[in-house]
Amino acid sequence: MNCFGKDIATGRGVEIRHGETIDEVTPSAEPAGWWIAPGWIDLQVNGFAGVDYNCPETEPAEIARSLEALFATGVTRFYPTVITGLPERMAASLRNLARCRRELANGEAMEGFHVEGPHIAIEDGPRGAHPRPWVRPPDLEEFHHWQEAAEGRVRMVTLSPEWPQAVSYIESIVAEGVVASIGHTAATTAQIADAVRAGATVSTHLGNGAHASLRKAPNYLWDQLAEDRLMAGFIVDGVHLDWNFLKVALRAKGIERSVLVTDATIAAGAAVGRYRFGELEIELTPRQRVVLAGTDRLAGSALRMDRGVENLAAIAGLPLDAAVRMASINPAIAGRVPGRGRGLVAGERADFVMFRFEEGKIETIRTWLSGREVWSK
Is residue 191 within 8 A of residue 166, CB to CB? The reply is yes
Residue 79 within a domain: yes
Relative to beta strand 280-284, strand 290-292 is antiparallel
DSSP codes, 60-100:
HHHHHHHHHHHHTTTEEEEEEEEES--HHHHHHHHHHHHHH
Distance between CA 47 and CA 316 in Å, rounded?
Answer: 26
Distances (CA, A) of 363 to 8, 306, 344, 347, 358: 15, 8, 20, 27, 8
* pLDDT recorded at residue 290: 96
Residue 19 within a domain: no
Distance between CA 376 and CA 369 in Å, rounded?
Answer: 12
Q: Residue-wise over 79-88: b if at least 16 C-beta within 10 A, else e?
A: bbbbbbbeee
Of the candidates 166, 173, 164, 122, the one whose C-alpha atom is nearest the C-alpha of residue 146 is 173
Cβ atoms within 10 A of the Cβ of 6, count? 20
Bridge partners of 233?
Answer: 259
Type of residue numbered 147: Q
Residue 6 within a domain: no
* pLDDT recorded at residue 31: 76
Count of positions (residues) in the chain: 377
**pTM of the predicted model as reported, rounded to 2 decimal places:** 0.97
Distance between CA 277 and CA 294 in Å, rounded?
Answer: 14
Distance between CA 174 and CA 201 in Å, rounded?
Answer: 10
Distance between CA 157 and CA 151 in Å, rounded?
Answer: 15
**Distant-in-sequence, close-in-space partners of 107: CB < 8 Å, separation ≥ 6:** 67, 100, 101
Is residue 348 within 8 A of residue 340, CB to CB? The reply is yes
Residue 120 within a domain: yes
Residue 99 within a domain: yes
DSSP codes, 297-332:
-B-SB---HHHHHHHHHHTS---HHHHHHHHTHHHH
Residue 176 within a domain: yes
Distance between CA 75 and CA 122 in Å, rounded?
Answer: 33
User: Which residues in the chain show pLDDT less than 70?
Assistant: none
Distances (CA, A) of 93 to 53, 199, 262: 7, 27, 20
Element (H, E) at 17: strand 13-18
Residue 372 within a domain: no
Query: 256: domain CATH number?
Result: 3.20.20.140
Relative to beta strand 75-83, strand 113-116 is parallel
Distance between CA 266 and CA 129 in Å, rounded?
Answer: 15
Distance between CA 312 and CA 99 in Å, rounded?
Answer: 35
**Residues 299-318 pLDDT 10s:** 999 999 999 999 999 989 99
Is residue 32 within 8 A of residue 60, CB to CB? The reply is no
| Helix locations, the chain, DSSP H | 60-71, 87-103, 140-149, 166-175, 189-198, 220-226, 243-253, 305-314, 320-327, 329-334
Of the candidates 96, 75, 90, 82, the one whose C-alpha atom is nearest the C-alpha of residue 46 is 82
Q: Which domain holds residue 249?
A: 39-339
Query: How many folded domains does the chain comprise?
Result: 1
Angle at 371 between CA 102 and CA 373, to 5 degrees: 85
Of the candidates 5, 2, 8, the one whose C-alpha atom is nearest the C-alpha of residue 30 is 5
The overall average pLDDT reported for the chain is 97
Residue 13 within a domain: no
* pLDDT recorded at residue 29: 84
Angle at 349 between CA 235 and CA 112, to 5 degrees: 50
